Amino acid sequence: MEGKVLARIAAIVFVAIAIAATVIEMTRKEAPVPASTAPALQPSADPLRATLRRCQQLGEAASSDADCLAAWAE
């Protein structure tokens, strides 16, 4: 009989600790995550690259465009 009483007391203590841990976790306030202050990486402005992109978008018409021909030669 003594073993059953000891098991019941252990179970009650376990449940009490679990309830206390749950209440503590639920009442804890989360600290807001600070926003990143690192600047966004932006590629340097390269006029040749911009010209080549424009020529790529022109497609077959770029073969007769003077700016595209100069960009490709460079």
In this structure, the answer to whether residues 2 and 30 fall within a common structural domain is: yes
Question: In angstroms, rounded to a whole number, what is the distance separating the alpha carbons of residues 19 and 12?
Answer: 11
Q: How many percent of the chain have pLDDT more than 70?
A: 92
Give residue 40's region: left, alpha or beta (phi > 0; psi -120 to 50). beta
Output 24 or 45, whichever has higher pLDDT: 24
Helices (H), 1-74: 2-27, 47-58, 66-73
Structural domain containing residue 20: 1-35
Assign 62 a pLDDT band (cuts: 50, 70, 90): confident
Q: How many percent of the chain have pLDDT more than 90?
A: 32
Tally of domains in the chain:
2
In this structure, the answer to whether residues 27 and 55 fall within a common structural domain is: no
Question: In angstroms, rounded to a whole number, what is the distance separating the alpha carbons of residues 68 and 56?
Answer: 9
Read off the pLDDT of residues 12-44 as tens digits, 9 standing for 90 and up: 999 999 999 999 999 988 877 777 776 777 766
Mean of all residue pLDDT scores within the chain: 86
Assign 67 a pLDDT band (cuts: 50, 70, 90): confident
